[in-house]
Amino acid sequence: MLQPRPPPDPTGTPIEIQIDHVAQLFHTLDPFPFRERDLDKEAEEFIVGWARELPKHEPVAIIVHLPAREAESEQGREIADALHQYFRYRASVVTNDLRELFRFGRYALAIGLVTLSFCIALGQIARTTLGANEFSRILGEGLAILGWVANWRPIEIFLYEWLPLVRRRRLFQRLARAHVTLAPR
């Protein structure tokens, strides 16, 4: 008999982080104010890695375990805002990467279609000029293949390459909406 699935936790599936200092979460050489700092690379990889493993339809929660004095500090109180802002920023970076990929894809497609048209026309000219022999057939087929190969990259971009970027952007957007809780110890 099928068991009913329990409703998802409204705060989200937790990702738990244990730190001793707030500075461990953020890139300390970043000159920006605390809320605008980049996450430490290891902290980002940890959070993103765990978030990828969580069910996609459930919200995410981030629980930061830290000493009470760190949680009460000004930087400690701003951790949630800083994490939300960082992941919103990362989602916008991926959005820009996606736009750039499609822009490049359009240019590559234009070049590929011109090349394909040129190769097909050149193949037709070769068949007409050289007559219906084996060499003109091979030359025409080779030019047609070259024209299609010129379209390989735009086809790859528009069929496959954009999907991982969209998935990454969705993940960052989920993390930007994550419920962040401080757990003083």
- Give pLDDT tens digits for 100-128: 999 999 999 999 999 999 999 999 998 88
**134-149 helix and 79-130 helix, angle to the nearest 10 degrees:** 170
CA gap 10, 112 in Å, rounded: 49
3-class SS of residue 18: strand
pTM of the model: 0.79
